[in-house]
């Protein structure tokens, strides 16, 4: 696990301080790789790579990056973990290749030397890498940028007049001093619509995010960044599979996905909330190993938010060494600035990931497995999977009746003032579609609310390039005309995986875990498992059982305590932020809101009104938090603002509940 960065200059462009700029980029993400730093500048001086390394496999100097082939003609800087590295290594050795390390980095490097860009289709894991190929003579030199199938590892790039820059974090790109800090109107508007900045946008105008399952081939004689997609989420359904066969298939893929993610040369454990997804991961860890298992969880003084009893039951069932951390409002006050700085760009989530990652690091872990992705894959959000098709059906019905749309919108706006009804009124103004219904159900601010919130110039500029409904449609694999059965269920699942999961959950998990130099692995987003589950009919995934995610429960039959398997309510790592923002955090909240009102992007009166509505319990905390998260952007430091204090300041609050 690492942080990567690089600069690819335009031909005949000189940058005498290229190495120094690469060092600045590396230092800006030192938290991602505290074990080693590497800088490489090509003989031509046109390409430079940087790397910060968190050593996970092959801790020796042989794993140093950037890494090169024996003749120096191919070089790589890489972030991630390849779980089928052993099989690929055996295949390459059979072809006559010799390995000088035990790292998976060298597997990608030599795999590229043999298979070229097709190596990405052979990789099973999470990755973001850049490869410089100097084998074709000066005019034939190329750079390949690539990102994993599910987009677990981030990769950002900027095409400037000087050349193309790339990095694992936005702050590293800014640290080079070659990229504008001008805010992206579309990125800001997209963020307010969805609660996270939607790919390929970022909060900065000049910086783009490479989408999942994408690569960029760059020819050095004329550098240009044009992403290509090499893999898609499946849209076909296997209607002939039986229920028993489906359960068996999922059970086997789950077990394999967890087992291959247990390879590590450093301490490894798991996040354990007490929910079904994380409990399944821990149970499968026990199935795969007889060795010790360490689990980490958070508890709260507010009983309504605590899942301690469920996490403890699961830890006891597998004989885990269980670490509990009690999180209080005082902890959030202490870490508030560090959390916002770690975000890299604004998000309405991430606080939970920050604290559980901090807890895992304090427990001595360098790698943690997470249950992220289970809800989106197995239908764990009953309201979303059930309500989106219902809203779509309602929109179609109303819009099919002459005059009904105008009457319904007028009635809503006259009689109702809640944000949920405003979303419905906005939805009626657009053609009925599942994407429109999804935005209505899952959006943060409705279109009219965003328009009232941002400066008119920003709204007008964003409208030229960003449409939230079209964005959701594209990410879900298009639109569908039938609103029933497995088509709608699979559509919602794809929308969840490619929007909320990718833009928010994965990105927040990456930056918050790496802020603590922790690698997080997500078995439930294994590409083979994801593809298999997406192809299953909806009736198999639902099966009319009285508890959430029945297919996952069936696949885990006999491996979970009944108290966990048969839970009827869903919680997860939820924080009592609504309570804390009105009390202990009020001072910091007001200071951030004052900063937001001075930025010039938003309408100050609307910001003040949102704060008043939150204080009066009229809106959810996430809407206020979305504005607070914007407060870090104008003055964000080019270098990492995190220091070592956040790693140890609350270590005495972690207690061991030993079930070995």
H-state helical runs in 319-418: 329-342, 351-362, 374-378, 382-399, 404-415
Closest CA to 276 of 380, 353, 386: 380
Instruction: Tell how many helices (H) and how many strands (E) occur in the chain.
Output: 30, 18
Q: Cα(567)–Cα(67) distance, rounded to whole angstroms?
A: 48
Q: Which residue has the tokens 């709608």?
A: 488
* 34 token code pair: 């505290």
Dist CA 311 CA 369 (whole Å): 15
User: Which residues are bridge partners to 81 per DSSP?
Assistant: 126
Angle at 506 between CA 26 and CA 226, to 5 degrees: 65
Residue 47 C-beta-side C-alpha neighbours within 13 Å: 25
Q: Can you state the percent helix, strand and coil of the chain, rounding each to 5?
A: 50, 15, 35
Question: What does residue 47 show for φ and ψ, rounded to 5 degrees?
Answer: -125, 135
Is residue 530 within 8 Å of residue 150, measured between CB atoms?
A: yes
Q: How many angstroms separate the CA atoms of 487 and 537, rounded? A: 8
Place of tokens 């109303």: 398
Quote the crossing angle between the two packed helices 308-318 and 276-288, to the nearest 10°: 10
Nearest to 198 by CA among 420, 469, 459: 469
The residues that bridge with 297 in the sheet, in sequence order, are 324
∠ Cα 367 203 366 (to 5°): 5
Task: Give the active site residues.
Answer: 2
Of 209, 180, 215, 212, nearest to 197 by C-alpha is 209
Report the first-to-last Cα separation within the chain, whole angstroms: 29
| Integer Rg of the chain from CA | 24
User: Which residues are bridge partners to 487 per DSSP?
Assistant: none
Contact 384, 377 (CB under 8 A): no
Decide if 79 contacts 127 (C-beta within 8 A): yes
Alpha carbon distance 444, 454 (integer Å): 14
Contact 7, 22 (CB under 8 A): yes
**Sequence-separated (6 or more) residues with CB below 8 Å from residue 228:** 214, 215, 216, 217
309-348 as b/e: b if 16+ CB within 10 A = ebbbbbbebbebbbbbbebbbebbeebbebbbbbbbbbbb
């Amino acid at each position: 696990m690492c942080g990567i960065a690089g600069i690819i200059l335009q031909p005949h462009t000189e940058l005498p301080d290229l190495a120094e700029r690469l060092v600045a980029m590396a230092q800006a993400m030192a938290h991602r790789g505290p074990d080693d730093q590497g800088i490489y500048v090509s003989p031509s001086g046109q390409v430079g790579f940087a790397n910060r390394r968190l050593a996970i496999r092959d801790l020796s100097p042989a794993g140093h990056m950037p890494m090169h082939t024996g003749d120096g003609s191919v070089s790589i800087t890489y972030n991630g973990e390849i779980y089928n590295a052993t099989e690929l290594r055996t295949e390459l050795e059979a072809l006559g290749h010799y390995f000088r390390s035990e790292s998976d980095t060298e597997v990608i490097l030599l795999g590229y030397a043999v298979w070229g860009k097709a190596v990405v289709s052979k990789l099973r894991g999470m990755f973001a890498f850049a490869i410089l190929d100097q084998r074709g003579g000066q005019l034939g030199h190329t750079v390949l940028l690539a990102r994993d199938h599910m987009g677990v590892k981030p990769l950002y790039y900027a095409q400037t007049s000087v050349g193309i820059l790339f990095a694992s974090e936005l702050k590293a790109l800014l640290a080079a001093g070659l990229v504008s800090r001008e805010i992206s109107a579309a990125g800001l508007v997209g963020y307010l619509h969805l609660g996270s900045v939607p790919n390929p946008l970022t909060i900065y105008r000049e910086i783009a995010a490479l989408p999942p399952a994408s690569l960029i081939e760059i020819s050095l004689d004329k550098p240009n960044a044009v992403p290509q997609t090499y893999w898609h989420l499946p849209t076909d359904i296997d209607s002939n599979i039986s229920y028993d066969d489906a359960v068996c298939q999922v059970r086997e893929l789950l077990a394999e996905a967890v087992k291959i993610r247990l390879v590590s040369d450093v301490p490894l454990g798991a996040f354990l909330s007490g929910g079904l997804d994380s409990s399944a991961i821990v149970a499968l860890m026990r199935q795969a190993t007889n060795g010790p298992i360490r689990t980490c969880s958070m508890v709260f003084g507010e009983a309504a938010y605590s899942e301690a009893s469920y996490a403890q039951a699961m830890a006891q069932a597998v004989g885990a060494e269980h670490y509990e951390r009690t999180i209080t409002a005082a902890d959030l006050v202490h870490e508030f600035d560090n959390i916002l700085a770690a975000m890299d760009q604004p998000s309405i989530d991430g606080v939970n990931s920050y604290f559980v990652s901090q807890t895992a690091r304090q427990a001595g872990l360098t790698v943690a497995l997470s249950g992220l992705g289970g809800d989106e894959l197995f239908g764990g959000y009953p309201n979303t999977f059930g309500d989106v098709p219902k809203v779509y059906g309602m929109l179609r019905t109303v819009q099919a009746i002459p005059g009904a749309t105008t009457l319904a919108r007028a009635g809503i706006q006259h009689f109702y003032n809640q944000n949920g009804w405003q979303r419905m009124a906005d939805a009626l103004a657009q053609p009925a579609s599942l994407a429109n219904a999804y935005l209505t159900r899952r959006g943060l601010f409705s279109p009219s609310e965003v328009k009232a919130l941002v400066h008119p110039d920003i709204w007008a500029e964003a409208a030229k390039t960003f449409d939230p409904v079209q964005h959701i449609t594209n990410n879900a694999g298009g639109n569908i005309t039938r609103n029933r059965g497995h088509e709608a269920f699979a559509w919602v699942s794809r929308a969840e995986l490619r929007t909320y999961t990718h833009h928010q959950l994965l990105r927040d998990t990456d930056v918050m875990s790496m802020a603590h130099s922790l690698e997080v692995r997500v078995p439930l987003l294994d590409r083979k498992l994801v593809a298999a589950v997406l192809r299953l009919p909806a009736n198999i995934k639902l099966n009319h059982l009285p508890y959430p995610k029945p297919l996952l429960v069936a696949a885990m039959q006999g491996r979970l305590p009944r108290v966990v398997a048969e839970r009827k309510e869903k919680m997860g790592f939820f924080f009592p932020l609504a309570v804390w923002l009105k009390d202990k955090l009020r001072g910091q909240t007001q200071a951030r809101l004052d900063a937001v009102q001075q930025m010039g992007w938003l309408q100050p009166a609307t910001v003040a009104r949102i704060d008043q509505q939150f204080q009066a319990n009229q809106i959810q905390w996430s809407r206020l938090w979305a504005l607070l998260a914007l407060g870090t952007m104008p003055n964000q430091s080019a270098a990492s603002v995190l220091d070592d204090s956040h790693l140890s300041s609350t270590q005495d609050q972690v207690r061991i509940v030993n079930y070995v």
